[in-house]
Structure formats: C-alpha cells, structure tokens
Chain A
Amino acid sequence: MNARPFLALLAVLLSTTLASAQSERPIPDEGALGELVVTGHVKEHVTTLAILPSLVPDLEDVIVRSVVRRDMELSGMFDVIPDSRAPEGTYGFDDPVDVGAWRKIGAEVIVKVAARKRRAGKIEVLGLAYFLNIGKDPVYEKKLLVDESEVRVTAHRVTDALLGAITGTPGGFASQFTYSGKWGRNRRVFTMDSDGAELEPRTKETDTSIAPTWGPNGTLFYARSRDYSPFILMKRENRVHYRVKLPIKGSVFSIAFNSDYSKLALAISNGEGSSVWVGDADGGNPTKVSTTAVATHPVFSPSGKLAWIGGEPYSFGAQRVYVDGKAVSPPGFTAAAPAFCDTEDGIRLVYSVGVGGNREDLVMSGESGGGIVRLTQNQGTNTYPACSVDGRLLAFFSTRKNKDGPGLYMMSLKRWVTNRVSGAYGESLRWAPLPPPPKSARP
C-alpha cells in the first residue's frame, strides 16, 4: 500500500494545526511604559508648580484662587512657587498667561484659576493648566457656571480636576470630614470641608452623639444617647434627624459603610463586651462576624475586606486590629481606629498603637498587615486616621506641640510632609467624598 498520500495528508493536517495554534497564541501586551532600565538608584522628582496670583478684589475670584492654592499646598505633591516670585503682569480672567516668564523661574506646570460674576447669583469659574514641556497652549481648560453658594465647592472640584490632569488621578478635595468632639459634658458630631473650613456642629448640645460616618448621598449616620440611655443609630438627611431601627438590641458604638454603600457594619454592645455585625445598608439581615469578647470600630477596605478592633476587655495590649477575622497588628500594642487607604502604591491599612506615656502613634501596613512602617514619632499623640478619596492624603488628630499646636493634621502619603488643617480636635474621624454635582458643574 502506498503511504505517500497519507503522509501528505498528515503533513497538511499538522501544518494547519501548528498555524492555527500560532495564530491563537496571545500576543504579549507590552503596555505603554517602554523598557525600564533599573540601576538601583531611587531618584525622587518633585514637580515645580506655579499658581497664578489674583490681583482682582472680587470675592469669588479670591475664594476660588485661595482654595485652589491651599489645596495644592495641602496635597504635598508639588513645590509651589510663592506668590512673591510671580513675574510682573496682569492676572485678570481673560488675560493671557506669560508662559515664558514662568518658565524662567523654574515652573514645570502652570495653573490658572479665576472666577467672575455672570448674571444674578451665577459665577463663572475658569481652570487652566499648562505643561511647559508641551508648549504655550493649555493642556487642560474648563469653564463652569455655578451658583454663588457653590463657589467654594466648585473650587475644590477644579483642584481635583487639575490634579487629575497633572497626575492622571483626580484629587480628593471635594470631600468632607465628620468627627465627634467634646461640647461641655457631652459630645457632638461636627462636619467640615476637606481644607478645614465650614466647621459646623450637626447634633444637639444636650445629646451625647458619637461615632459619626458618611452614608450614601452625603447622609450622616451617628450614635446618640439622651439622658444616659443606650446609644441608638441615627441618620441625618436633608437637615432632619431620623432614628434607624435595628433588629439587634444593644448600644451602638460604631458605624461603617462599604465603598458602594451596600453594606453596613455596626459595633453593638452585648453582655460584657461588644460584637461587630454586618448587614444590609438599612441595618437589616445582620450577621455577627466578630469572635472576640470585645469588637468595635469596624471599617471596610476598598476591596471589601472588613477590619475592626478586637480583643479582651481588661488587659493592656490585647486589643488588636483584625482583618477578616485574623489579627494583623503587632502583639503587645493596643491598637485602635483602623482605616484603609487606596494609595498610589496599593491598598494600605493605617491604625494607631499605644506607645506608652498615654500616647499613640500611627503605623501603616499592607492591606493584610505585612510590612509595617511608622508614620509618626515623638510628636504628641496621634489618633483616628482617615484617608482621602484619592488615597494620597492621611488626616488625623494630633496633640503635637509645634508652632501650629494640636488639631487636625494632613500627611501626604507620597512625600511624607505634614500640614495642619484645623485646630479642631476630637475622635472617630471619617472622610468621604461630597455627593456628585449636577452635570453642568462638573469640571
């Protein structure tokens, strides 16, 4: 029998199979980064940023420009050129930017913001960014028409958009803080803007209100006790306070939502200690998740992990950070107030630890507790960390006695510089984005 036709057929089949296999092999995606030459030398580059000064006495222009400048300084990401070095010239709303003059004093990025009245109650806000290596044309330009009452918030939104243009990740300044602070013999819930402005008490001075947190659409949740009664879960929405009824009995110690506000975690007292329960956003279908005698201060990570403080009630150093049921903070240190940060280096866990002398310091680790680094040392007691929306800033209360004194501080997790935001001091600090603006006011 002649085997040639079979061999030929086999060869054809093999070649077809090989060809199809080659065509199905995934083409490696090289990405956009090009070749990386690794030398072992870590070099930091800090962008020099120029923010055009404002010579216009109009209030809206002064507000927008000062808010953007302060936000950029608080971000800690840039060397901001001081106003005293600004080249001579006109800096009106429609005046052109003298790119060459700013280039000569070392600017790499120029930002111009301005505002002016348009019609009754409406303000036009302008934001421009120039990259000096690109040329004399702006790489980012936006004009917004907003209500007069929205000028401050719009300035924060413009900052966030400019940070997005400069770094590829929008900023997190269009956001707000809430915390519980002392008021006579009681505690009240306060709120303020991300730059420390607009500090306002939000609960009655006759109540004891603790553990506030932000819920969906800017609603405020907190625990309230009146005349020494157990703490109940409260919600503030459109300036009205409601009681949220829970299917579990006990005093509410702490409240937390996950990133998409679909889950609610509560720390509720039981016989001798407390437990963490996770349920629906309205408090329904709760399930007990903690196993330790004491469990409090729950907080969700951006990836959905749940951390809390758990341990034994009466022994020092027995309270540790638990992530999904596993102790992750170092043994021997009393840990408190965990918070997650979605940083430029990935998700990080930040919490405070007791270091003796009635002081606490902040430490940071990976999401699951590994690779611990210390963030504060010998600077008073530092407590209640909270992370910005963009994960680049860490806010916390500090009793440090430097020239600024105690208050709320903000640390750049990119350059490790710290700035004082406000003289306010309290506990249970939470930081969340403002509700999204209407389309017409989006930068």
Chain B
Amino acid sequence: MMNVAPRRPLPSGYVGAAVAPFTDFEIVVAVAGAFVIQVVFFVTLAVVTNRARIEEVREPEKKVIPISVKPVIDETKLLKLGGKKKVKYKLPDMWKKKPPVRRQKAGSAPSPQAKDDPNEIPKSELSDAAPPPDAEIAKEVDDLQPDASEPDAEATVEGEGAPDGVEEGTETDPLKARAVGEYTRKILGWFNARWSPPGTGAPCAELKSLRASMSVTIGGDRQVTGYAVVAPSGNPTFDAKVRATMDSIVGQQLPPPPKLYPDILGTTQSVTFAGTRAPCEESAQEAQEAQEPQQPQEETP
C-alpha cells in the first residue's frame, strides 16, 4: 500500500473527498495506455509511405518546315536621327576689379653692381632710389596719393574764394565746386571709356602729341545730339578715329548731374581728343630726341 502524505485535519462535519482522487490501478492503466498510443503513432509513421508518382509531361517535338525567303529592298531612305541644335545660353562673367599696378618712374641710382665703365653710365634721369628690378616701369607716373602737405602760403587775392582756387575761377560755393569736379570726372570717364587713340598713321611721338577739338551738342534729356569739329588734328587717321568715336557717341545718354546741381550740364560741351595714350612704341631715336634738349645750330654772340 502506498504511503499517503499526512493531511491537515478535516474540519468537523466535512463530507467531501476524504479518499485519494485516483486509485493506483487507474494510474497504471493510464500510463500504459499513453505508452501504447505513442508506440502506435511512431510505428505508423515509419511504416506508411507515399508511393504516388507524378509523370513528367514532355512537349511534342517541333517539326522544321523549310520555306523560301525572297528579300525585298526598301528604296525609301531612312530618316537621320537628330534634333534641334541645343542653344546653350551663357551669362557674361561678373566684372572683377583688378588691383592697380603700381608703376615706378624710370630712373637711375648709384648701384654697387654698376660696371666701372663711363660708357655704361645710364642716360635716364637720376633719382633718389632705383625702382625694384621687378617693378613696372613707366615714363610718367600719376600721383596716387593726394598731396597731403599744408598749403604753403595764404591766398594772395582778397575776397571770396578758396586758397587753392585760381584767379580765373568763378565758383565761390565750395560744395558746388566739389560737385562740379566730381561730375566732370564722371563725364570725362564716360568719354575716356569710349575713346582709344590710333596706334598707327604717324610716328609714335607725333601720334601722342595729336589733339582734335570738338563741340558736342547735348539735348534736353542728356542725349548727345551732334558734334562739330572745331580744330582737327590734321592727321587723317587720327581725325577719322575721332569722327568714328563721335559718330558712335551720338544718340547715347550722358550720366545725370548730381541731384543738388541739375543745371551744371550745358547744351554744348567742349571735348578735346588727345593721342597721349596712343598704343605705340617710340623708337629709340624718337625717345632720345624727346629727351635731349634742342642744341643751338649756331653759337649766338
């Protein structure tokens, strides 16, 4: 007989299951039944197999039937592949300010590397210091800095005016005089941007000394309406270039004057075209002639 675990004492009057739920025999039969079921399952799994077969379906073999082919030539020309030429639009490049080239005036100065030969003495003007070897050399150099020195003397003319004025000057209002100066520079720049003197047609030195004066007529809306040659230079190439420039200028509009002084631009304007900056090289002989002072041919008494 199996040992039964001691139980808590049942309350008085309890008439429920006072015995174990299953007998020992029932438990043994259940275990044996479960074992038999497992054995039957595995035996069935091992014995039963699928013996069904699927037959392969084969496509029937195609029979080759020869036919005769007669080529037909298409005489119509084929169209060439192509399209409208693509136009690639391009904006102009942005203008960029170039740094100013600081040019040095040609000059000579004592150097320890100079040859000990009187014939090698340079003929150029003697200056305090020679320009650096890599400097841009020019015959004349504009002063980039304004003259910062104090005026040397007081004005010699009494009355209204400025110490740096000129006797022929008429403007006494310094503000207007400055505005006129600024506007003159602007108009001058406008003409300068449209004028390039010819580099041929005469010896270089002569080209650079040529001048042609014009009287330019200006309309009410600042438009250049015409011009008259007041004094031609006498050189046909130079005068033709001046006329071509003026012809291209006629019809264009001048920059407006300062707003506070709208009346400073007249109806006519004197303009002189100069060949000073002609793009030509002076020959050595011309340069020497330009530098050397004219020697008197005969001694004067």
Partner of A106, one of B91, B148, B267, B268: B148
A34 within 8 A of B: yes
Which A55-114 residues have C-beta < 8 A from chain B?
A: 100, 103-106, 108
Report if A375-B94 is in contact (Cβ < 8 Å); known contacts: A36-B184, A134-B163. yes
Report if A332-B87 is in contact (Cβ < 8 Å); known contacts: A36-B184, A48-B146. yes
A441 within 8 A of B: no
**Contact mask for chain B residues 172-191; partner A; CB cutoff 8 A; 1 contact, 0 none:** 00111011101111111101
- Cβ of B104 to closest chain A Cβ, rounded Å: 18
Q: Does B184 lie within 8 Å of A333, measured CB to CB?
A: no
Residues of chain A contacted by B56 (CB below 8 angstroms): none
Residues of chain A contacted by B192 (CB below 8 angstroms): 38-42
B193 within 8 A of A: yes
Partner of A373, one of B92, B185, B270: B92
Q: Does A33 lie within 8 Å of B183, measured CB to CB?
A: yes
Closest to A30 in B: B266
Q: Does A133 lie within 8 Å of B164, measured CB to CB?
A: yes
Which A1-55 residues have C-beta < 8 A from chain B?
A: 26, 28-45, 48
B62 within 8 A of A: no
Q: How far is the CA of A331 from the CA of B89 in the complex (A)?
A: 8
Q: Does A168 lie within 8 Å of B179, measured CB to CB?
A: yes
Q: Does B253 lie within 8 Å of A40, measured CB to CB?
A: no
Partner of B162, one of A134, A333, A345: A134
Q: How far is the CA of A82 from the CA of B17 in the complex (A)?
A: 112
Q: Does B183 lie within 8 Å of A168, measured CB to CB?
A: yes
Q: How far is the CA of A366 from the CA of B195 in the complex (A)?
A: 21
A167 within 8 A of B: yes
Q: Does B255 lie within 8 Å of A139, measured CB to CB?
A: no
A217 within 8 A of B: no
Secondary structure call for the B interface:
loop
Query: Chain B: interface residue count, which band?
Result: 35 or more
Q: Does B188 lie within 8 Å of A36, measured CB to CB?
A: yes
Partner of A30, one of B149, B259, B270: B270
Q: Does B91 lie within 8 Å of A42, measured CB to CB?
A: no
Report if A36-B191 is in contact (Cβ < 8 Å); known contacts: A29-B266, A106-B148, A355-B91. yes
Report if A374-B91 is in contact (Cβ < 8 Å); known contacts: A31-B265, A36-B191, A38-B192. yes
- Cβ of B96 to closest chain A Cβ, rounded Å: 8
A363 within 8 A of B: yes
Q: Does B274 lie within 8 Å of A416, measured CB to CB?
A: no
Partner of B272, one of A37, A45, A103, A134: A37
A121 within 8 A of B: no
Report if A346-B174 is in contact (Cβ < 8 Å); known contacts: A31-B265, A31-B269, A106-B148. no
Which of A34, A39, A375 lies at the interface centre, i.e. has the most chain B CB atoms within 10 A of its CB?
Answer: A39
A393 within 8 A of B: no
Residues of chain A contacted by B200 (CB below 8 angstroms): none
14 A-B pairs, CB-CB below 8 angstroms? A30-B266, A32-B180, A34-B184, A38-B195, A39-B197, A39-B274, A44-B189, A103-B150, A166-B178, A168-B261, A169-B258, A344-B186, A345-B255, A374-B91
Residues of chain A contacted by B164 (CB below 8 angstroms): 133-134
Q: How far is the CA of A353 from the CA of B185 in the complex (A)?
A: 33
Residues of chain A contacted by B175 (CB below 8 angstroms): 139-140, 165, 168
Which of B91, B95, B179, B195 lies at the interface centre, i.e. has the most chain A CB atoms within 10 A of its CB?
Answer: B91
A330 within 8 A of B: yes
Q: How far is the CA of A179 from the CA of B253 in the complex (A)?
A: 34
Q: How far is the CA of A166 from the CA of B276 in the complex (A)?
A: 31
Residues of chain B contacted by A48 (CB below 8 angstroms): 146
Residues of A within 8 A of B (CB): 26, 28-45, 48, 100, 103-106, 108, 131, 133-135, 139-140, 164-170, 317, 330-333, 344-346, 353, 355, 361, 363, 372-377, 390, 416
Which B193-218 residues have C-beta < 8 A from chain A?
A: 193, 195-197, 213, 215
Closest to B257 in A: A168
Residues of chain A contacted by B139 (CB below 8 angstroms): none
Report if A333-B270 is in contact (Cβ < 8 Å); known contacts: A167-B258, A169-B260, A346-B255. no
B145 within 8 A of A: yes
Q: How far is the CA of A410 from the CA of B100 in the complex (A)?
A: 24
Q: How far is the CA of A31 from the CA of B184 in the complex (A)?
A: 11
Q: Does B264 lie within 8 Å of A32, measured CB to CB?
A: yes
Q: How far is the CA of A166 from the CA of B146 in the complex (A)?
A: 17
Closest to A135 in B: B163
Q: Does B95 lie within 8 Å of A416, measured CB to CB?
A: yes
Partner of A42, one of B94, B193, B272: B193
A100-B150, A169-B258 known; 9 new pairs, CB 8 Å cut-off, are A28-B266, A29-B267, A31-B264, A38-B271, A38-B274, A103-B149, A168-B257, A332-B89, A346-B255
Partner of B146, one of A32, A106, A355: A106
